[in-house]
Chains A and B, each alone.
Chain A
Amino acid sequence: MIAALTLLLVFQLAGEVIARGFALPIPGPVIGMALLFLVLMLRGGPGDDLRQTAGTLLQHLSLLFVPAGTGIVLYGDRIAAEWLPLLVALFLSTFLAIAVTALVLKALTRNRARTAAEREQ
């Protein structure tokens, strides 16, 4: 587990160095994820230790958002003044984004499945 955690941190560190070094707008951990993905492709998959540690971390991904979410206590005044537009925009926009993404992807993959079926006939 310690070896796997070390590996994850090394990739995050490499990601941070690349992000800062090239002044990229992408956060270091996202670049670290891409680097680790490339290494997994080259090596042919993760070892058991890495798979287990990643599984444990991702299983409790929700916990990791709690400290930032608690930051809501800083915005009592703004939320009191603007709660209606903030709430409506958050709900409607999130619903719309889910619906548009799902419908576009569903329509495109259905066409593809259909043409594949027609080709077989």
Chain B
Amino acid sequence: MAQWIKACNIDDLQPDSGVCALVAGRQVAIFYMPKESTVYALSNYDPFGKANVLSRGLIGDIKGQPVVASPLYKQHFNLQTGVCLEDESVKIPAYAIRIENGSVQVSIPE
């Protein structure tokens, strides 16, 4: 069973934007939508641009799906599943995430 690992505090998050945290050696992009009290966690690595940049992408929704757009070549990734909207064969790791007493915690599979 994967464990919840603390990534950062809620104050470290950027409202309606993303940050990157180093969690168990992995680069995790964490996105925060305060109006809906929602956080999402994806791998920070952009498989198209081959760089660790996804936390710096713009977030929003496309036809109801919450997405981040890569800042390099603008592909969209579903914030819940990590599936690329432009090419469904591409899926980046999506992590479970929760906020407990102001602590942002991510669950990284073994």
Q: Do A and B come from one complex?
A: no
